[in-house]
Amino acid sequence: MSDATTKKLAIVTGASAGIGKAAARALIERGWRVIGIGRDPGRCADAEATLRALPDSDFTMIRADLSSLSETARAADKIAQMGPFVDVLLNNAGGVFSRRIITPEGHEATFASNHLAAFLLTRKLMPQLKAAAARSRPGAVRIVAVSSTGHAQCAGVQWDDLTLAHGFTGGAAYCHAKLANILFARELARRMADDGIVSHAMHPGVVASNFASHCDAPMQAYMESLRDRSVTPEAAADTLIWLACAHEPGETTGGYYHERQWLMPSPAAQDDSAAHRLWELSETLVAGY
């Protein structure tokens, strides 16, 4: 049998730097086959060279701008052509922007890159995830969303202003998207429970990475104020890898974690009616891709 069917396969978005690159490395070192997705050509090339140089590495990098639904769909189609099974999907990629950007497809870029891309990628790879679940013990196949405690700063999804046309700030847009991450993970857990697929979300902490480089001035100042509490990408990725690989997280679904510990998300993030509504709305927004 080929490695495409014998090795476990993980998809890691945002694998060109930071937490994603650290997570991809950790999985490769555990003997996994890993497909990474990244946006920046230079960082993608550097990450691919580094990760492919690891002993017994089986790593492929796909370059795609996940703020674009068409590029997200292209990446998903390419992954689907590379094998019949996906055992783990780490929806780690995201971004924050210093100004309001509307993508060519009409979406606010923070919401598109942090939420809609994860939703579409998960949706398009569901046949491969279900196929992996059918050959595995219940709970072995995992989908993990990287969110943030910033979600608690958002009172709810802006149903009537998803593009944040009124009073945009980069920090508020980020918190809005991070709330969407947890609601998506929660609804995904409910919908996939009968298939034995586990869905969790996690907060990585304040990470020493290039994450804040595109923030507006207030958010950059806030991130700078937390610098003494920052952790390395490898430390932040520890919980992500634990959620992907360890036995314990496979026994439950729909959780929210930090440093391998369950956290209570905000009341807005526990709103099951909002989670259902967001799913239905997201289906409409990604229709055709």
Question: Which residues are catalytic, by number?
Answer: 174
**How far does CA 65 lie from the centroid of its chain?**
14
**Beta-sheet pairing, 141-146 with 88-91:** parallel
Question: How far apart, in Å, are the Cα atoms of 184 and each of 5, 82, 118, 277?
Answer: 29, 26, 9, 10
Q: Assign residue 288 a region: left if phi > 0, alpha if psi is -120 to 50, beta otherwise?
A: left
DSSP code of 116?
I
Which single residue is written with the structure tokens 């391998």?
A: 260
**CA–CA gap between residue 210 and residue 218 (Å, rounded):** 16
H or E element in which residue 233 lies: helix 233-245
282 CB-side CA count, 13 A = 29
Amino acid found at 108: E
Residues 6+ apart with CB under 8 A from 55: none
**What number of helices (H) and strands (E) belong to the chain?**
11, 8
